[in-house]
Amino acid sequence: QVQLVESGGGLVQAGASLRLSCAASGRTASIHGTGWFRQAPGKEREFVAAISWSVSSTYYAGSVKGRFTISRDNAKNTVYLQMNGLKPEDTAVYYCGATLTSIATIDYWGQGTQVTVSS
């Protein structure tokens, strides 16, 4: 089993920055990659960014590319999402997900953290 705990959400104004953290525990050696997803009210959960644990390759949704950066601290088994230039449309609950195989298949989810961007 893998446990994921997100933190770092909050209420900010447009243009501000936030850094989300996702701390993994348990069988972390089995994790292939970790991704950030978000779900706004009335919308489906969508992919935001992902990072592979073996070679640290990163992937981004087009809507956040150039503004968000995903990174990983190997020693802490923690993945970060640095969000700059936040926009009201970034408002959502952000979830961390871990996969044992491919980012297309999330095996473990965190509880989510709320990000609210005011205009």
What pLDDT does residue 59 have? Answer: 96
What own/partner pairs with CB < 8 Å and gap ≥ 24 does 38-44 have? 38/90, 38/92, 38/93, 38/94, 38/95, 38/115, 39/92, 39/93, 39/95, 39/112, 40/89, 40/91, 40/92, 40/93, 43/92
> Which pLDDT value is given to residue 56?
77
pLDDT at 103: 85
Task: For the chain of 119 residues, list the mean pLDDT of each consecutive stretch of 10.
Answer: 96 98 96 96 96 90 97 94 98 97 93 97
* pLDDT for 21: 98
Q: What is the pLDDT of residue 76?
A: 94
